[in-house]
Structure formats: C-alpha cells, structure tokens
Structure 1
Amino acid sequence: MRKTIIYSFIALSVVLTGCEKDNFDEPAAILEGQITYDGAPVSVRSNSAELELWQDGYALNEFIPVYIAQDGSYSVSLFDGAYKLVRKGGDPWQPQLTDTIVINVNGRTELDVPVTPYITLTDASYTVSGSSLSADFQINQVVSGSELQEVFVFMSNSVLLDRNINDYAEALPVEALSFGSPASVSVSIPEDLQNAEYVFVRIGARSSNSNELIYTQAEKIEL
C-alpha cells in the first residue's frame, strides 16, 4: 500500500511538472500593416510573398515568417520587443536584405512596409457588355531593365483570386502591350460564370526579374 502511494505521488509530480513546462504565455502583441509602393498597397498572390522578422538574443536564432495577403496586408502575433524586418527576394519587388527595418512592438503596432516593385499595374477599370468583359489598365516599369513576361486577366466567383486560384485565366499578348501606355482588352466571360450575379476580376503581370506576378486588387463586377 505504501509503494502504491509513493508511485502515485511520483506520477502526479511528473504530470504537474509537465503541465508547468507547457504553460507558456501566448504572444499578446500584434504587428500589422500594408506592403506599399508610392503610398499605395501592393497586391500579390495570397501567401506567396513574405517578410522575415528577426529578434536579437532569441535562443533558436530563427526568423519569423510574415505572410502577406493578396491585398498586400499582413498581420502577425508577437511578444512585445524589438524586431528587425527584412524584405527578402523571390517576390515581385526588389530584395532589400541589407536594409532592415527596426520595429519596437508594443501591444497593437502598425507599420506599412515600403517596397520597390519591378513593375506596377495602375488605373484598372472594367465594363461588361453581354458575355464580354473589357479591361482598361496600365503597366508601368519601375526598375530599369525590367521586361514584361506575362499578363493575365483572371476571373472567379470568389474574392480569393490569383494565378493558382481562379475559375478562368486568359493570357494577353505581351507584344501588344507597352510600359506607360493605357491598354484596353476584351475577353469572353466563361459560360459557367455568365449566369452569375457578379464576378471577381483581377489582372496580373510578371516582369523578367521575378517568378511571381504583381496584381491589381480583386474587384467585384456586377453581370
């Protein structure tokens, strides 16, 4: 009987010790903001682009990934403290690995992060006539030497819309488009979307400097 009591006490001590070790505080602070160029949000493929956060003295010396939503916004839960933010490569903007942004996070902290995209898409507007959708837009060269590789019109019945998630994608002839000049194209609305009340539309373009497209904001168009 005495051995049973001792064993039970040891087992209970192990359980309580384990619970104590697992009882860490959760991050209570939030860092949020927008990826911007020239004061305007930069739109991307959802969770394709990311920033890196580093904290000096962190035991594992690992970065914290900050994923960017398709509208260019981001939000990450953190502990209060000082962090270094890095704009990495592989995104539709220039990497700035040696130009870090120091952030003091305290509670809810807002920070817009400026980037330099290789190209931009501006002045997008859409009109519908019957089963056709007309899109007006302009592609601008920001970084000298950037060349236009691909341009698409995407459609979907969902606001989450990009190269990988869409109900329809039509490639536009790149040779007919030029930097800095207004463009106007007409595409057919697919049959499975023609009877819908609305469709979400988005234009994406890729420069020769990036594997990722830069996008316009997804816009809801009444049919």
Structure 2
Amino acid sequence: MKIRFQIRTLLAMLILFASCEKDNYTAPKSILSGRIVYNGEPIGVEYNQVRLQLWQPGFGKLAALDAQVDQGGSYSALLFDGSYKMVFPQGRGPFRTIQKDAAVKDTLFVNISGNQELDVEVMPYYMIRTPKFSGGENKVSVTLKLEKIITDVNARDIERISLYINKSQFVSRATNVGVTDVAGSEVKDLNSISLSTNVPALAPLQNYVFARVGVKIKDVEDMVFSPVEKVAL
C-alpha cells in the first residue's frame, strides 16, 4: 500500500512538473499578414476554403501551420520568430502559383522577426471586372466583365458563373439564401455578362442583402469571387 501511494505521488509530481514546463514556454507573438494578389489587386475567394501553409524546419516533428485566406483575399498567422517556407497546398486556389526558378519552384522564404506584411503574387485563371449590383422588387441583378488572365497551354474554360446572395456578409456556395447559375457554354461575350436572382422571404425582415459573383473554372476546385457588396432591395 505504501509503495502504491509513493508511485501515485511521483506521478502527480511529474504531471505537475510537465504542466509547469509547458506553461513556461514563450508563446508566439509575431504576426505575418498580407493578401493574395494579382498585380497588387486582391483575389476574392470562398471563406475558409483556401489556405497557405508555413513550414518551420528544426522544431521537432516537421508540421505545417495553416493560414486561412479570408473571402477578401487576406491572411494572417501568429508565429514564433524564425525562418519559414510558405507554400499553397497542391491544387488549391483559383490560380496558378508563380515559380521563380527550377530550384525553389513556387516556395516563398520568409524570415519573421516581429510583425510583418507580405503580399503573395499569383496568376489567376480569370479576374472579375466592374461588377455592378442593383436591387429592387425582391430581386438582385449584376452586370460584369471577365478578364482571362492565363491564355497559354495552362488556360482553362469557365464551368459556370454564379450570383450568390445572403443575409450576412459571408456569401459563398455554403452560405447563401439564393443563387443563380449560368453555364460557361452560355457565355458568348466575356465583356457583357448579366445575372439576376430572386430574394426569398427573409426572417427577420430586412431591406437589403449581401451579394457577390463567383466563377467556377473547369477542373479547378476553388472559385474566384468578386468583393462582397451590400445591395438595397
């Protein structure tokens, strides 16, 4: 009985010591933030779908730290100071990454020492231009243009164009109260595209919705989006 008591006491002391050691670790305090951009212009994406990965070699088991990209194209990550490799997961994002050379490919290297801002330049398949929203009579409409950015052997066709509306500022495939899709095959002129969608009965009642346009590219999972806009009804 005495031996069992001593073992329990020893285990409790070890747990307490480990807890104190854990509490004594310095917490990360440097923020790396920026935007995903094309020629300095932010690229809109779907909330919580696109992410950057940051790798810091030399700290035990190598594992990626994820930095989610918000729907406006911005990201941020709380990090320890040090050197990191920054990459996009394979096949993610409505864009192609830019390869600097054959050695590093599309990996970005960043040294963190205090807060830092870093925009990540990419090549989108398409950019949404001049979206103009209007509302009234329980309907939201939009006109827009599409610019095809990648035109070489890596070019992709449009699968569909979608107009999404929602009660809140989070507007996407997963969060909407109304959507209208137009197949890419029906688009005859990228400089003249229009869509409209009906607004359902909203509870509680509100005289506005939030809207944005999304473009689905063939064989690309993530869509490119226009900025979210508040539309009066």
- AA of the residue aligned to 2:124: P
Gap runs ≥5 in structure 1: none
Distance 1:186 1:214 in 2: 19
Offset, 1:129: 3.2
Indicate yes or no: 2:189 matched with 1:149: no
Residue by residue over 1:183-222, the C-alpha shift from the partner in whole angstroms, topping out at 9 and shown as x without a partner, is 2233322233895221000110111141121111111112
- Taking structure 2 as the reference length, the TM-score comes to 0.85
Tell me if the contact between 2:144 and 2:192 (Cα under 8 Å) persists in the aligned partners: yes
Distance 2:231 2:130 in 1: 16
The sequence identity of aligned pairs, in percent, is 25
Moved over 3 A (4+): 2-13, 191-195
1:50-199 correspondence runs (5 A): 50-88=51-89, 89-96=91-98, 98-144=105-151, 145-178=155-188, 180-192=190-202, 195-199=205-209
Tell me if the contact between 2:56 and 2:84 (Cα under 8 Å) persists in the aligned partners: yes
Distance 1:194 1:172 in 2: 30
Gap runs ≥5 in structure 2: 100-104
- AA of the residue aligned to 2:14: V
Tell me if the contact between 1:207 and 1:213 (Cα under 8 Å) persists in the aligned partners: yes
Give the match's secondary structure for 2:180: strand
When the two structures are aligned, how many residues end up with a matched partner?
A: 222
Name which of structure 1's ranges 14-23 and 113-122 shifts more when overlaid on structure 2.
Answer: 14-23
Offset, 1:96: 4.9
Offset, 1:33: 0.9
Give the CA RMSD over aligned residues: 2.5
- Taking structure 1 as the reference length, the TM-score comes to 0.88
- AA of the residue aligned to 1:40: E
Indicate yes or no: 2:32 matched with 1:22: no
Distance 1:64 1:128 in 2: 42
Give the match's secondary structure for 2:107: strand
Tell me which of 192, 217, 220 is aligned to 1:207: 217
Residue by residue over 1:94-146, the C-alpha shift from the partner in whole angstroms, topping out at 9 and shown as x without a partner, is 14572211111122111111111111111111112322322011112111231
Offset, 1:163: 0.7
Tell me if the contact between 2:159 and 2:185 (Cα under 8 Å) persists in the aligned partners: no
Distance 2:135 2:204 in 1: 11
Give the match's secondary structure for 1:134: strand
Distance 1:177 1:117 in 2: 19
The alpha-carbon distance between structure 1 residues 205 and 11, as it changes in their structure 2 partners (threshold 3 A), is: closer
The alpha-carbon distance between structure 1 residues 193 and 7, as it changes in their structure 2 partners (threshold 3 A), is: closer
Tell me if the contact between 2:140 and 2:199 (Cα under 8 Å) persists in the aligned partners: yes
Residue by residue over 1:134-171, the C-alpha shift from the partner in whole angstroms, topping out at 9 and shown as x without a partner, is 20111121112310101111011010110111111111
